Amino acid sequence: MRYRTLGRTGIQVSPYALGAMMFGAVGNPDHDDSIRIIHRALDAGINFVDTADMYSRGESEEIVGKALKGRREDVVLATKARFPVNFDPSGATPVVPNQSGASRRWLIRALEGSLRRLGTDYVDLFQIHQPDPDTDLEETLSALTDLVRAGKVRAIGTSSLPASDIVRSHWIAERRGLTRFRTEQPPYSILNRGIEREVLPAVEEYGMGTLVWSPLAGGLLTGRYRKNRQNSTHRSQFGFRHLSDERRLDAVEQLIDLAQNAGIPLTHLAMAFAITHPGVTSAIIGPRTMEQLDDLLAGVDVTLTDDLLDQIDKIVPPGTDIGTLDMAYNPPAILKPHLRRRLIPNRPAA
């Protein structure tokens, strides 16, 4: 396994990062099997593990903590906070005030919980899981700076932060003498290349590392989802709309043909693409089973030629997204109608 520097932190990480979202009740509830998968990844040379407090309501962190006993110093360990630990996407569980967000009050408490579940006294990378429009960026950076100075965190990062906020965060950090964000974790795949326009140029400008998630496009680039076919997979039970998006499925069919003609499994094509961009440090893999992990590890030597990359560009042009992932972040300006609609009396031109 070759290693890359995580931005300008000096920390060396593998181009494949092991994502732990599927360890626990949401994916693989067998702790012993999940631990075997983690050990297999570490033995293969992956030294970067990414989890979050909300994954299976903290269970993922507990599993990772068990797996890293005796191996903690060999691993670059990353976790995230922003959502309630008892996060429920259905909304059935009420959100308790002050138990989510990017405020000082919550982030300090969230990290303490993560450290306890992970069985460690520090994390190498502590990330804000998603932007929090209710908390000033300076407040967040101030709290994170204190956690770094306390030795509980080695570096701080963001996830799904728009390019404008990346720039603003560095301006605030420089002006106020605060620790700056060293990493960004955005979605990126052959089907979702929007970050090539502004986010990746911004992180390169500021010397940040980029840890991309969903390089297999939420499962679409596994080859198991085909147009006009009934799909029965673990992910399909969650009702994700991106798995049935006709535009995305049309592109997948073209990519399947391209991969077959090149003699490369689609998963290997997708992963090799994700780590080819010079702005990408690592791509997160999220296996649920040992079979899935072994399939992805079998593609670590795949190199995409310029001709193959040019053909991918014709299917999905650079800097464009085909549809969106259900899990992708949308800012308030998009989600809240009142922020994009004038009051009725002010709408006419005359």
The catalytic site residues sit at 55
End-to-end alpha-carbon separation of the chain, Å?
Answer: 65
**pLDDT higher than 80, residue 292:** yes
Residue 78 CB partners (closer than 8 Å, separation 6+): 17, 48, 49, 50, 51, 123, 124, 125, 126, 127, 157, 211
Question: In angstroms, what CA-CA distances link 67 with 39, 49, 71?
Answer: 7, 11, 8
Predicted confidence at residue 189, as pLDDT, reads: 98
Q: Once rounded to an integer, what is the mean pLDDT over residues 89-110?
A: 87
Reported as type and span, the H/E element at residue 184 is strand 183-185
**Cα 317 from Cα 133, distance rounded (Å):** 31
Predicted confidence at residue 233, as pLDDT, reads: 55
pLDDT digit string (tens) for 134-193?
999 999 999 999 999 999 999 999 999 999 999 999 999 999 999 999 999 999 999 999
pLDDT digit string (tens) for 200-216?
999 999 999 999 999 99
Mean pLDDT of the chain: 94
Q: Is-contact 271 296, C-beta < 8 A?
A: yes
Residue 81 CB partners (closer than 8 Å, separation 6+): 52, 53, 102, 106, 107, 110, 111, 114, 126, 127, 128, 129
pTM above 0.75, yes or no: yes
For the chain, percent of residues with pLDDT exceeding 70: 95
pLDDT digit string (tens) for 13-51?
999 999 999 999 999 999 999 999 999 999 999 999 999
**Cα 267 from Cα 284, distance rounded (Å):** 13
Q: How far, in whole angstroms, is CA 42 from its chain's centroid?
A: 19
**Cα 274 from Cα 257, distance rounded (Å):** 19
